[in-house]
């Protein structure tokens, strides 16, 4: 064996394991799916989609419907928490405090659809999401989603067929709106000419991102919806400075 090769092998053998090049542990995302009221049949599809999009972004996603996941030591493992079609009162006071501290420590939140129909008695959460659910039109309806950036339209509108939420307030003055829906194209809208459906913002030391889309399982195959969710994951996890 050549002397140079022998010397190289010896140096590797003597090198501390910690000094060897090793891939860092990937960032993790917690997908939370607990429901205390309406349970969406689309949750398994939402979870599978978020798993796939997380993997594409180089992250690992864990799914749980157990509120005991909300402990400081466990949440510290994650870059972001996704509330995927959660409903009702899903966390007790101690678990809520752990979630608040997670965000204040720089963690991210991503809410999908019924995340806005969750925890009405927790004012901090209402601010985290940006707006609570008010009501929705009957059934699935077709409209168009208009992307937006800095208060201006950004790119062409795209069609959607889903359950379109009306919210208790228009969140525009508190958040960065990234998409609106056109109420003139369906029945039952109550927010008028400015109907935000997706938004984001820095919040309480961390990051918050929300989309009202995601009731119907079929929308998770829509490339536009998937692109929106991918964007939300990147922002919530701190992988992108702009949502």
pLDDT band at 176 (very low <50, low <70, confident <90, very high): very high
Q: Which two tokens stand for residue 2?
A: 């050549």
CB contact at 8 A, 84 and 32: yes
pLDDT tens digits along 101-148: 999 999 999 999 999 999 999 999 999 999 999 999 989 999 999 999
Residue 8: its pLDDT value, please? 39
Q: How far apart are CA 117 and CA 34, in angstroms?
A: 12
DSSP reduced 3-state for 21: coil
pLDDT tens digits along 55-85: 999 999 999 999 999 999 999 999 999 999 9
Average pLDDT over residues 17-40: 82
All structural domains of the chain, each given as residue ranges with its CATH number in brackets, are 17-133+172-177+193-236 (3.40.50.880)
DSSP 127-161: HHHSS-EEE--SS-EEEEEEEEETTEE-S--EEEE
Q: How far apart are CA 34 and CA 103, in angstroms?
A: 19
The residue among 226, 162, 223, 222 whose CA lies nearest residue 197 is: 162
Average pLDDT over residues 7-32: 63
Contacting residues for 47 by C-beta, under 8 A, at least 6 apart: 31, 33, 63, 84
Q: Looking at the predicted structure, is the pLDDT value of residue 241 above 80?
A: yes
pLDDT band at 18 (very low <50, low <70, confident <90, very high): very low
Query: Burial code of 209-221, b = ≥16 C-beta within 10 A, e = fewer?
Result: bbbbbbbbbebbe
- 89 or 242, greater pLDDT: 89
Rounded to 5°, the CA angle 77-79-84 comes to 105
Q: Looking at the predicted structure, is the pLDDT value of residue 231 above 80?
A: yes
Residue 243: its pLDDT value, please? 85
Considering the entire predicted model, what is its pTM? 0.90
DSSP reduced 3-state for 236: helix
Strand 166-167, strand 196-203: pairing: unpaired
Residue 167, beta-bridge partner list: 133
pLDDT band at 23 (very low <50, low <70, confident <90, very high): low
Residue 161: its pLDDT value, please? 98
Q: What are φ and ψ of residue 181, in 5° steps?
A: -120, 155
pLDDT band at 24 (very low <50, low <70, confident <90, very high): confident
Q: How far apart are CA 148 and CA 231, in angstroms?
A: 13
Of the chain, the percentage scoring pLDDT greater than 70 comes to 91
Q: Which two tokens stand for residue 173?
A: 């003055």
Q: Give kind and range of the element (H or E) at residue 176.
A: strand 176-181
């Amino acid at each position: 064996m050549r002397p140079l090769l022998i010397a190289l092998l010896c140096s590797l053998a003597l090198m501390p394991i910690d000094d060897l090049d090793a891939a860092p542990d990937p960032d993790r995302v917690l997908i939370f799916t607990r429901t205390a009221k309406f349970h969406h049949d689309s949750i398994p599809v939402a979870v599978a989609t978020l798993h796939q999009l997380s993997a594409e972004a180089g992250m690992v996603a864990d799914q749980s419907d157990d509120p005991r996941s909300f402990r400081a030591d466990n949440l510290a493992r994650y870059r972001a928490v996704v509330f995927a079609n959660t409903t009702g009162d899903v966390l007790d006071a101690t678990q809520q405090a752990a979630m608040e501290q997670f965000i204040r420590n720089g963690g991210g939140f991503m809410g999908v659809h019924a995340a806005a129909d969750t925890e009405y008695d927790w004012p901090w959460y209402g601010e985290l999401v940006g707006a609570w659910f008010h009501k929705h039109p009957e059934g699935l309806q077709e409209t168009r989603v208009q992307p937006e950036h800095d208060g201006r339209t950004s790119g062409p509108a795209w069609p959607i067929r889903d359950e379109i939420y009306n919210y208790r307030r228009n969140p525009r003055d508190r958040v960065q709106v990234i998409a609106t829906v056109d109420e003139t194209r369906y029945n039952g809208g109550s927010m008028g000419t400015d109907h935000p459906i997706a938004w984001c913002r820095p919040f309480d030391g961390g990051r918050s991102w929300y989309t009202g889309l995601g009731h119907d399982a079929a929308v998770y195959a829509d490339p536009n919806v998937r692109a929106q969710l991918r964007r939300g994951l990147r922002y919530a996890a701190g992988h992108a400075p702009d949502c």
